[in-house]
């Protein structure tokens, strides 16, 4: 048993769900990076994917549907020493939380953003998600989906995300490598993780994902944003791996409290003499 295990935990996912392999990949990544449960905070929303931090030992903020990213920002701002991961599904992160997705990228916080993308709603039993393909029929979308799917990688690249990657749950070892790279990256890192839903998505199956994806080869250098954008928007098979990465100042290091003092907020208290000075500045000079 590792420090990351929660013995005896009752997992609610369907047998064969891609979430099991993503959970395994995440635990492997954390273990290989030598991160203890105490150092890591996983913030999640609501759905099947956001249950992930319920199933291993970590600090967890399992919040509202769609709102993991803003909570993660608050955590990172209060204590930049923590390794902060925001985790959820395609509906959670690209639908309900779509606005936060756009604006979190702009800030470039040192947060790892893991999105389990199975192109369907699992928790609510089979409705279309923001990434469902056109024509996808469900009990609600009876004539098939007519809206274009969100292209999360292209959106992230357009917003100049500092790391953009895609992984496939079917390869937990390679997914763990991508997650490690994302965690080590100082800045916002999106890992869109393709994942079959064995119960509600009979189109985008394990076999379909396998046949419709390929790994970027070792010679690929993720430094050219235009090339990454071309890959993200190309028709046909989906590229797996880190498409783009670049170093930029992070959001939290530019926040006022950390300009010249690295201490997390809980180690600080208000300077009452300084407060008296601020009040004194309201005095009307006669």
Q: How far is the CB of 270 from other proteins (least distance, A)?
A: 5
Cβ pair 87, 54 in contact under 8 A: no
Q: How far is the CB of 180 from other proteins (least distance, A)?
A: 21
Cβ neighbours around 274 below 10 Å, total: 9
CA distance 153 to 171: 19
Q: How far is the CB of 164 from other proteins (least distance, A)?
A: 20
Q: Which residues contact 162 (CB under 8 A, 6 or more apart)?
A: 108, 185, 187, 188, 189, 245, 246, 247, 248
Closest CA to 185 of 171, 169, 215, 165: 165
Q: 102 in helix, strand or coil?
A: helix
Crossing angle for the helix pair 19-32 and 172-184, to the nearest 10 degrees: 50
DSSP code for 79: -
Q: How far is the CB of 27 from other proteins (least distance, A)?
A: 14
Cα 251 → chain centroid: 16
Q: 62 in helix, strand or coil?
A: strand
Q: The dihedral of CA 212, 217, 222, 225: what is its sign? A: negative
Question: What Rg, from alpha-carbon coordinates, does the chain have?
Answer: 21
Q: How many CA atoms lie within 13 A of 223 on its CB side?
A: 2
Q: Which is nearer to other proteins, 103 or 221 (CB)?
A: 103
Q: Which is nearer to other proteins, 80 or 130 (CB)?
A: 80
CA distance 281 to 276: 9
Q: Which is nearer to other proteins, 158 or 216 (CB)?
A: 158
Q: Which is nearer to other proteins, 152 or 172 (CB)?
A: 152
Q: What does the binding site for other proteins look like in residue numbers (CB under 8 A)?
A: 9, 37-39, 41, 43, 46, 51, 53-54, 57-64, 67, 69-79, 81-82, 99-100, 102-103, 255-257, 259, 261, 264-266, 268-272, 274-276, 278-279, 281-286
Q: Which is nearer to other proteins, 69 or 176 (CB)?
A: 69
Cβ pair 37, 57 in contact under 8 A: yes
DSSP code for 232: H
Q: How far is the CB of 51 from other proteins (least distance, A)?
A: 7
Q: Which is nearer to other proteins, 77 or 198 (CB)?
A: 77
Q: Which is nearer to other proteins, 113 or 166 (CB)?
A: 113
Q: Which is nearer to other proteins, 207 or 263 (CB)?
A: 263
């Amino acid at each position: 048993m590792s420090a990351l295990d929660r013995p005896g935990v009752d997992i609610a996912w369907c047998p064969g769900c891609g979430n099991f392999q993503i959970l395994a990949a995440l635990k492997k990544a954390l273990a290989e990076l030598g991160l203890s449960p105490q150092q890591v905070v996983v913030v999640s929303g609501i759905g099947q994917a956001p249950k992930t931090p319920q199933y291993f030992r970590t600090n967890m903020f399992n919040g509202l549907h769609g709102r993991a990213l803003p909570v993660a920002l608050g955590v990172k701002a209060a204590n930049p020493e923590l390794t902060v991961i925001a985790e959820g599904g395609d509906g959670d992160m690209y639908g309900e939380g779509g606005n936060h997705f756009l604006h979190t990228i702009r800030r470039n916080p040192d947060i790892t953003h893991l999105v389990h993308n199975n192109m369907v709603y699992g928790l609510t039993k089979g409705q279309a998600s923001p990434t469902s393909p056109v024509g996808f029929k469900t009990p609600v979308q009876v004539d098939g989906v007519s809206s274009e799917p969100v292209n999360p990688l292209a959106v992230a690249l357009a917003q100049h995300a500092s790391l953009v990657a895609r992984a496939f749950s079917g390869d937990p070892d390679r997914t763990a490598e991508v997650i490690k790279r994302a965690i080590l990256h100082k800045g916002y890192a999106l890992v869109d993780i393709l994942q079959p839903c064995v119960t509600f998505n009979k189109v985008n199956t394990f076999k379909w994902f396998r046949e419709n994806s390929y790994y970027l080869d070792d010679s690929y250098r993720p430094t050219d944003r235009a090339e990454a954008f071309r890959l993200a928007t190309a028709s046909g098979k989906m590229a797996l791996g880190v498409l783009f990465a670049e170093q930029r100042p992070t959001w939290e290091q530019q926040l006022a409290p950390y300009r010249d003092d690295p201490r997390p907020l809980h180690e600080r208290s208000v300077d009452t003499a300084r407060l008296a000075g601020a009040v004194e500045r309201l005095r009307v000079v006669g």
